[in-house]
Amino acid sequence: MAAVAILVADGFETIECLTILDILRRGGVRASLVSINDTRDVISAQQVSITCDEVFSDVDFDVYDYVVLPGGMPGTTHLRRDERVCDVVREFAATKHVAAICAAPSILAELGLLEGRRATCFPGFDIDFPAGAFAGEKTVVKDGNIITASAMGQALPFALTVLEDIAGERALEKVCEGIQL
């Protein structure tokens, strides 16, 4: 079974994080919320408290095919400041898959992972994107093994794009039918 680690920091965007979790699980993908905190407890930018499935320090990332970075502020800042997160993102960009939404694609740009690629992000967070990389607003962009989305309004299309990429068209069709999309 395919597996996805969704990295969660205090200040994450609630809908971006929980929509992808919901869609992936509906599609039969093993999706785990991974707290970068010392505990499984994390609080969103909208003050929604959640308990993650795992704590980063206890995770064996070898069992995962994808790493997902939800946006939100200051969640994105917390993810970027954690070198463990940066190391995992670099590794997954080189050997597996990475998906990031809203402000979080800025992390990919700052780590130099968008060279020669197309991507999107929340307006204003493209400052470190390489020339020609920004693919526009209000969209989802898949470029090779990296998927990016512009904002919370794209959370469902983003989640469906990741689902199709990891689990295939049949899983996507099943989920779309089930949510009446």
Phi, psi dihedral angles at 102 (to 5 degrees): 70, -115
Q: How many domains does the chain have?
A: 1
User: Measured at the alpha carbon of residue 56, what is the angle toward residues 50 and 61, in degrees to the nearest 5?
Assistant: 120
- Which residue range(s) make up the domain with 19? 3-179
What is the CATH number for 24?
A: 3.40.50.880
Extract the tokens encoding 73: 């502020």
> pTM score > 0.85 for this model?
yes
Q: Residue 67 and residue 81: Cα distance in Å, rounded?
A: 17
- Nearest-angstrom CA–CA distance, 111 and 107: 6
DSSP code at position 63? G
pLDDT given at position 17: 98
Amino acid at 111: L
Averages of pLDDT over each 10 residues, the chain, 181 residues? 95 98 98 98 98 98 98 98 98 98 98 98 96 94 98 98 97 97 89
